Amino acid sequence: MFQGIDFDLEPGELMEVHGPNGSGKTTLLRCIAGLFKEESGHVDVAGEERPLYLGHKPGLSLLLTPLENLRWYLALQGREPRREDCLSALRRVGLNGSHLVPCRSLSAGQQRRAALARLVASSAPLWLLDEPFAALDESGREIVLSIAQAHCHGGGAVVCATHEDLGLADARRLELAA
C-alpha cells in the first residue's frame, strides 16, 4: 500500500497525515494501533498503554447511551468508570442532556461527539484520529482541536488523518502519495 515511511513522534507532537483517497491513511493508523499487521517494517509504541484509536466506525453500541458506552470503554481498560468523570467528559464534548438517550436516536454529529468523549476520558499517551471531523459542525471541530492541543501540551502525541487543513502552525505533516 505504501512504503518508505519512517518517522519518530515525540511527546507533545501532533502530526497530520494527508493524502488522497486510497493512499493508505487509515491503514497507517491501523498499523500503529496494532489492528493491522504490517507486511514489512515495524511500529514501536513506547509505554504500556495501548494507543487510543478513533476510526471510521464510531465504536459505540447504538442500543446503549453515550454514558453506558463510555463506562464500558473505561471498564474494558481496567479503569474505574466513575459516573462523574464520564458525565464531565460528555459535557466537554457538548452532549449535556443526551447522555440518557440511546445512541441510535442521536444525530450523526452527536454520535461522533459521543465517540469523541473517549478522547477526554482516555489516559492513553498516543491518539490516532482518523477523519475526526467527519459529521461535525464548526463548534465540534473547535472542541476536537482544543482537546487534541491540550493533550499535546500535556505531553501526549496525536496522529491525525484528515483532508482538511487544521491550521495549526506547529503541527508536523506527512504526505502519502496515491
Partner 1 sequence: MIALAQAGRDLRIAFRSRGEAAHPLAFFALAATLFGLGLGSDLETLGLVAVVAIWVIALLSCMLAAESLFRRDFEDGTLEQMLLHGRPVFLAVLGKLAAHWCVSGLPLVLFAPLVGFMLQAPAQALPVLTLSLLIGTPTLTMVGAVAAALTAGLGRGGLLVALIALPLYVPVLVFGAGASVVAASGLSALPQLLWLLAMLAAAVTFAPFAVGFALRLSQEY
| Contacting positions for partner 1 (CB under 8 A) | 30, 33-37, 50-51, 53, 55-64, 68-69, 71-73, 75-78, 81, 102
d(CA 22, CA 87): 37
d(CA 13, CA 46): 14
Give the containing element (helix H, strand E) for 120: helix 108-121
Indicate the residue among 114 and 147 with the shorter CB distance to partner 1. 114
CB of 53 to partner 1, least distance (A): 6
Indicate the residue among 78 and 167 with the shorter CB distance to partner 1. 78
CB of 173 to partner 1, least distance (A): 26
CB of 58 to partner 1, least distance (A): 6
